Amino acid sequence: MADRLGIIAGLGGLPAALLAANPDALCVGFEGADLDLRDDQVTCYRIEHLGALFDGLRAGGVTRVVMAGRVDRPAMDPAQLDPLTLSLAPRIMAAIQSGDDGVLRFVIEMIEEQGFRVIGAHELLPDLTAEPGLLAGPAPGDAHLADIARARQILTALAPVDVGQACVVAGGQCLGIESLQGTDALLRFVADTPDELRRGGGVLVKRPKEGQDLRADMPAIGPGTILAAQKAGLDGIAIAAREVLLIDRAELIRFCEEAGLFILAEAS
Amino acid sequence: MADRLGIIAGLGGLPAALLAANPDALCVGFEGADLDLRDDQVTCYRIEHLGALFDGLRAGGVTRVVMAGRVDRPAMDPAQLDPLTLSLAPRIMAAIQSGDDGVLRFVIEMIEEQGFRVIGAHELLPDLTAEPGLLAGPAPGDAHLADIARARQILTALAPVDVGQACVVAGGQCLGIESLQGTDALLRFVADTPDELRRGGGVLVKRPKEGQDLRADMPAIGPGTILAAQKAGLDGIAIAAREVLLIDRAELIRFCEEAGLFILAEAS
């Protein structure tokens, strides 16, 4: 098992997809997370025991590591910190203050300092992303394209302050910008928009932040995103070609066709 | 009644406050809006009858007009448009596509074309805004000041795309950005943040967008904002000194003191 793959598993279906494509991989996660994996597929560690986690990966012969799915940031119990985690704590705290990307850049740096190479899920499974074009549903109209352009403009404005992988615009009006709570929470928020404020269905635009390292927290959509977008009354979704993960692609496309929602992949 | 004041009444307590301070004013509004005024205090027009509304103001001797409180944008029934509204329709549609400020700039322009002078509520009632300093509650700590600075940074980034009068940051993390649905909806969204994502209480920052015309849609907070901020678990609110309306100031401050929430007014 030279060059064995390690998977740091977060939420959602991506860890299972990577494991299915790389059955020899060693999968680790954090205790308390609601992972979409069987107990025998993953070894879980306390967030305070990063030293033990890295030792486990090393003992398993892992040389390459992929981060897959969101890891919520649980509170750390200072009394439980192992020596490595304790030594990293000041940098962890500083990274957290610097926004989402700051945390993820730090996580990549930390894993590489431990001697592993960090790779992106899209490098392992290129089929997980989309080439430019219409993936599903009816072709977007001019009003949709205008809403997509406005949402991209909003996300571009936010990139320098490290906020926002997603934005909803309907009839030129911004109905929501993704924050820490994620895309599903954004779509639930949009679903609650009073009818009298709403003009047209609107679109969800989901893209990596400009300059974002795709090896960490690559944006993803899955069948659940489609259902949530449908409940939010949207007409479609625009994603960045080659830079957004499609989870359960076949089902995702079937859900779109059934709901009459488009998915458009746009080049950067 | 030379230089009579006209009040275009939207939602919330501001129209009543302006009317109380200007009992000779002529107050108009739009049918279907849930105004905080008695029926005998306001004359309501259909949104399609802007010509009739302006005629009513002129007939009443109005020369100055103040817009007070949010006017939701109801759908217009094309069959009902009076000649003036019909002639304005293309510009209304274009303005709506250009974002919140675009609409409001257009509304001011339209009212002034009709021969009225548009003034800001804060010019009529300077006591409605705050001088720089701590208005209520305990002094914010360093972590609060850091969260306030980050929220301001996010709002500054968004100003060029005409989005966002408010933002919530807790422990350096953005928990929400105001969109069309307004501050109360933002605070309800923040209240639903899962505990495991939350770091500290956090702050709401509310300011006009940079470059915004304060004569229209001036940001406002009131006792309801305090209750919503409390439900969202926030530690305090930072507003722009002299540029945010304080509705029911005495009650607002009492609510803050009871909830232990600070209000800090910051110079630009």
Choose the mutation target among B96, B180, B209 for the interface with A, i.e. most A CBs under 10 Å.
Answer: B180
pLDDT at residue A100 greater than cutoff 70: no
- Which stretches of chain A sit within 8 Å of chain B by CB? 72-75, 96-100, 146, 150, 153-154, 157-158, 160-161, 163-164, 171-177, 179-181, 185, 189, 192-194, 196-197, 199
pLDDT for position B261: 97
pLDDT in tens, A200-254: 899 999 999 888 888 877 888 999 999 999 999 999 999 999 999 998 899 999 9
Q: What are phi and psi of A203, to 5 degrees?
A: -135, 150
What confidence tier does B202 reach under pLDDT thresholds 50, 70, 90?
very high
Instruction: List the end-to-end C-alpha distance of chain B, in Å, as a whole number.
Output: 37
Q: Which residue of B has its CA nearest to A95?
A: B172
Task: Tell me what the mean pLDDT of segment A125-146 comes to.
Answer: 93
3-state secondary structure of A68: strand
pLDDT at residue A131 greater than cutoff 90: yes
Residue A79 token pair: 């009394």
What confidence tier does B253 reach under pLDDT thresholds 50, 70, 90?
very high
Residue A266 token pair: 């746009």
What confidence tier does B84 reach under pLDDT thresholds 50, 70, 90?
very high
Task: Tell me what the mean pLDDT of segment A175-196 comes to.
Answer: 94
pLDDT at residue A166 greater than cutoff 90: yes
The set of residues, in sequence order, having a beta carbon less than 8 Å from that of A176 and lying 6+ positions away, is A167, A168, A186, A187, A189, A190, B179, B181
CA distance A113 to A125: 25
CA distance A223 to A136: 13
Structural contact between residues A178 and A228, judged by C-beta atoms closer than 8 angstroms = no
DSSP string for residues in A189-252: HHHTS-GGG--S--EEEE-PPTT--TTSS--EE-HHHHHHHHHTT-SEEEEETTTSEETTHHHH
The set of residues, in sequence order, having a beta carbon less than 8 Å from that of A218 and lying 6+ positions away, is A120, A121, A122, A208, A243, A244, A245
Q: How many residues does chain A have?
A: 268
Contacts of A75 in chain B (CB under 8 A): 196
Write the residue in A173, A180, A196 that is nearest to B174 by C-beta.
A180
In this structure, how many other beta carbons lie within 10 angstroms of the beta carbon of residue A141?
12
pLDDT for position B33: 85
Contacts of A98 in chain B (CB under 8 A): 172
Asked if A185 and B192 come within 8 Å (Cβ–Cβ), the reply is: yes
Contacts of A176 in chain B (CB under 8 A): 179, 181
The interface predicted TM-score (ipTM) is: 0.81
What separation in angstroms does the CA of A7 have from each of A70, A181, A216, B182?
Answer: 12, 23, 12, 41
| Nearest CA-CA distance, residue B3 and chain A, Å | 34
Contacts of A153 in chain B (CB under 8 A): 161
Mean pLDDT computed over every residue of chain B: 91
Asked if A73 and B199 come within 8 Å (Cβ–Cβ), the reply is: yes
Structural contact between residues A223 and A247, judged by C-beta atoms closer than 8 angstroms = yes
| Nearest CA-CA distance, residue A102 and chain B, Å | 11
Amino acid of residue A237 = I
Q: Which residue of B has its CA nearest to A76?
A: B196
pLDDT for position A74: 66
pLDDT for position B98: 66
Size of interface A-B (CB pairs under 8 A): 107
pLDDT in tens, A44-98: 999 899 999 999 999 999 999 999 887 776 677 888 899 998 898 888 888 876 6
When mean pLDDT is compared across A91-100, B151-160, B164-173, the lowest value belongs to A91-100
pLDDT at residue B95 greater than cutoff 90: no
pLDDT at residue B101 greater than cutoff 70: no
Asked if B158 and A160 come within 8 Å (Cβ–Cβ), the reply is: no
Amino acid of residue A155 = L
Instruction: List the end-to-end C-alpha distance of chain A, in Å, as a whole number.
Output: 37
Contacts of A10 in chain B (CB under 8 A): none
pLDDT for position A97: 67
> Which residue matches tokens 């939701």?
B72
Asked if A180 and B161 come within 8 Å (Cβ–Cβ), the reply is: no
Task: Tell me what the mean pLDDT of segment A190-198 comes to.
Answer: 90
